[in-house]
Amino acid sequence: MTNLRPAERVLNLKPRVRQELNSAIDKYKAINLNRGSTDFIFTNRLLTNLRVVADDNVSPSLHQYARSQGHLRLVNALAKLYNQRFRHNACVSGAIPEDLREATFGADRCINPLTEIIISVGGVDALSTIFLALINPGDEVVVIEPAFDCFAPQIEAAGGVYVGVSLIPPKNASGRVDGNEFTLNWDELELRINKK
């Protein structure tokens, strides 16, 4: 039997906050409110269609490996959904500045389902893939905090340097604070962005 050791890049990673919370939840038998849920409500029609597809004997290809980026019918359906849902609406958020127009999801832009959508096991898996694909050793990754607790360890595992910029809570806040009451120090953000 060989003596397998973890890769050196993961030896110094700190435990994720979620791991520490889960240990405390187990220890004290607390209720776990840590995990979020999707805000997408599954309709009866969708659930019925899923059952029909799962029972489909006519299309055995539906029960085989799909292309690694996602099944064609799925990525096409998602492109259609997101084209409608996320398209820039000038009536809501104003005109797009000229220098940003080409890169913005404007009224004429359509998502290419073959090159701009991938299907992953979940958000953590997708982020890990993105970080490993785009971060080179020593690259600094600026993250607005608070952030998803997997960002720091995944950025570090990819060889990057995590650089946090904290949102500023409202002054004299009492009681419940809404997320849109926080502000960002744009000067600090600009200072953190550099060639790295």
Pick from 64, 62, 65, 73: nearest CA to 114:
73
* DSSP three-state, residue 34: coil
Total of domains in the chain: 2
**Within this chain, do residues 161 and 129 fall inside the same structural domain, yes or no?**
yes
The rounded distance, in Å, linking the Cα atoms of 138 and 160 is 5
Find tokens 């009866």 and name the residue: 44
Q: Which domain holds residue 83?
A: 69-118
The pTM is what? Answer: 0.61
Q: Classify residue 102 by its DSSP letter.
A: T
Residue 155 CB burial class (10 angstroms; 0-12, 13-18, ≥19): buried
Residue 127 shares a structural domain with residue 162? yes
Q: To the nearest whole number, what is the mean pLDDT of the chain?
A: 82
**pLDDT for residue 144:** 94
Query: Cα(first)–Cα(last) distance of the chain, in Å?
Result: 42
Domain match, 125 and 186 both: yes
Q: Is the peptide bond before 6 cis (omega within 30 degrees of 0)?
A: no
CB 79 within 8 A of CB 110: yes
- Are 12 and 84 in the same domain? no
Q: What is the pLDDT of residue 164?
A: 96
Would you say residue 45 lies in a domain? yes
93 falls within a domain: yes
- Same structural domain for residues 176 and 124? yes
Give the residue from 92, 118, 144 where a domain finishes.
118
For residues 128-153, give the mean pLDDT: 92
Instruction: Please give the backbone phi and psi of residue 9, each rounded to the nearest 5 degrees, phi first.
Output: -65, -20
pLDDT at residue 35 is higher than 70: no
- Residue at token pair 């993105």: 130
- Dump pLDDT digits (tens) for 86-126: 777 777 777 777 776 666 666 677 889 998 898 998 889 99
Q: 48 with 142, same domain?
A: yes
Asked whether residue 93 falls in the same domain as residue 153, the answer is no
- Whether 2 is covered by a domain: the verdict is no
The angle at the Cα of 131, spanning 125 to 134, to the nearest 5 degrees, equals 135
